Amino acid sequence: MNEQLKKNLKVVIIGGGIGGFATAVALQNKGIQAHIYEQAPALGEIGAGIIIHPPTQHLFKEWALDELFYEKARINKTVELYTAQGEFVTYVTDNMLSSLKEDEAGLRPASIHRAHLLDLLITPIDPEYIHLNHKFKSLIETDDYVELTFENGAVVRADVVIAANGIHSNIRKIFSNDEPIYSGFHSVRTILPFEATKETAKEDATVMYRDDTTVLLMQPVAGGMHFDIGYPSEDTSWVNDITKEELIAKMASFDEKLVRLLDAIEYPIVDRALYCRQPIPQWSTNRITLLGDAAHSMLPTLGQGANAAIADADAIARALSECVTIEEALQQYENERSPVTTAIQNESQQFDKALDK
């Protein structure tokens, strides 16, 4: 696509989360400005810490965001597995999980608070391209443009629409009528003061404690320790409040030092069901495509959801920059990313088996 076409290309991104803003940054880096439409009245990320793998770190360097990233990120030199009683089992190696491999530049996974990552990605974007309080309602695709309508009455035309609006994406319905699949597990995530975790966590490593059903994971982030408990549940509700007493009951087999960590949590705390989507055979029309969880929502067992969305962002930006037509670009993007994300989805479902080897 020549420079004049790139300059005049009108790209609309639906969703102001990590995937949406990563896409805006990647496109801007290729000379394409995108407008982001977010339904919330203010920008913000739920959740706590996430792992950023080396390929994503290289993209941050390409986008001149690496210095800001390393100010907030914490390198994870090892991933260590313990029993629920605190007995060391093994180091989780790259033979168990390929995502743990150190790359040729010596980079290792790093953990960062989701909110800090979103702030990082927002930094390069001019506020005039960010539109809040715009909840997507419907669209019409023609040969020449896509017309989008929002619930506030706004109507926008675009050459390209990138749906980065999460697992509940209603734009996904263009391609599939599938529903999110409940994993059978819930998760509680928060940030604890590092002082509270000094006996059970490490400043430069991910540690996991587990019994037959429940996993407790801790990773360092700026300002504290990411704390995550995952456990089975028959409750399919997406979100509930959970009390300290209920969490204690789920950690009945865990060492007292680990149970005491629950004293540092402010209650009530949110308990979230873990859902995913199955791969679908098509993501794109001639002018519309899916990105991140809208395309390939996966279980969080490998910490790959955000990384996959950011890699999507890089791929769609390269495709729109390199290809002659929009249709060709969206097909190139989908052909590149769909096999990769399908493999990650499958590997994430094999996480427990890998750890048991």
pLDDT digits (tens, 9 = 90+) for 43-94: 887 778 999 999 999 999 999 999 999 999 999 988 999 999 999 999 876 5
Cα–Cα distances (Å) from 150 to 23, 141, 239, 295, in that order, read 21, 15, 26, 21
- The predicted model scores a pTM of 0.93
Other CB atoms within a 10 A radius of the CB of residue 7 amount to: 11
- pLDDT reported for residue 349: 67
Average pLDDT over residues 246-254: 95
CB neighbours of residue 77 within 10 Å: 14
Mean pLDDT of 195-212: 95
Binning pLDDT at 50, 70 and 90, where does residue 353 land?
A: very low
Intra-chain end-to-end CA distance of the chain, in Å: 49
Cβ atoms of residues 113 and 191 within 8 Å: yes
Phi-psi group of 61: left, alpha or beta (phi > 0 → left; psi -120 to 50 → alpha; rest → beta): alpha
Instruction: Tell me the mean pLDDT in the region 210-224.
Output: 94
Model pLDDT, residue 300: 85
Of all residues in the chain, what percent carry a pLDDT higher than 90? 81
pLDDT (tens digit, 9 = 90+) per residue, 95-119?
445 445 556 667 889 999 999 999 9
Confidence of residue 347 (pLDDT cuts 50, 70, 90): confident
- Of 23, 121, 22, 124, the closest CA to residue 72 belongs to 121
Asked whether residue 234 carries a pLDDT value surpassing 60, the answer given is: yes
Sign of the Cα pseudo-torsion (69, 72, 78, 79, in order):
negative
Can you tell me the mean pLDDT for 218-227? 94
Mean of all residue pLDDT scores within the chain: 91
| pLDDT value of residue 110 | 94
pLDDT class for 355, splitting at 50, 70, 90? very low
**Which domains, and CATH codes, for the chain?**
3-42+132-179+278-355 (3.50.50.60), 181-276 (3.30.9.30)
Q: What is the pLDDT of residues 324-345, one digit of tens each?
A: 999 999 999 999 999 999 988 8
β-strand pairing of 11-14 with 34-37: parallel
Q: What percent of the chain has pLDDT above 70? A: 92
pLDDT score for 104: 62
Q: CB count, 10 Å around CB of 175? A: 20
Average pLDDT over residues 270-278: 93
Instruction: Supply 30's token pair.
Output: 């290729």
- How confident is the model over 14-31, as pLDDT tens digits? 999 999 999 999 999 999
Q: Where does residue 264 rank: exposed (0-12), middle (13-18), buried (19+ CB within 10 A)?
A: middle
Per-residue pLDDT reduced to its tens digit, 115-140: 999 999 999 999 999 999 999 999 99
In what order do the strands lie in the sheet containing 11-14? 130-131, 34-37, 11-14, 160-163, 288-290
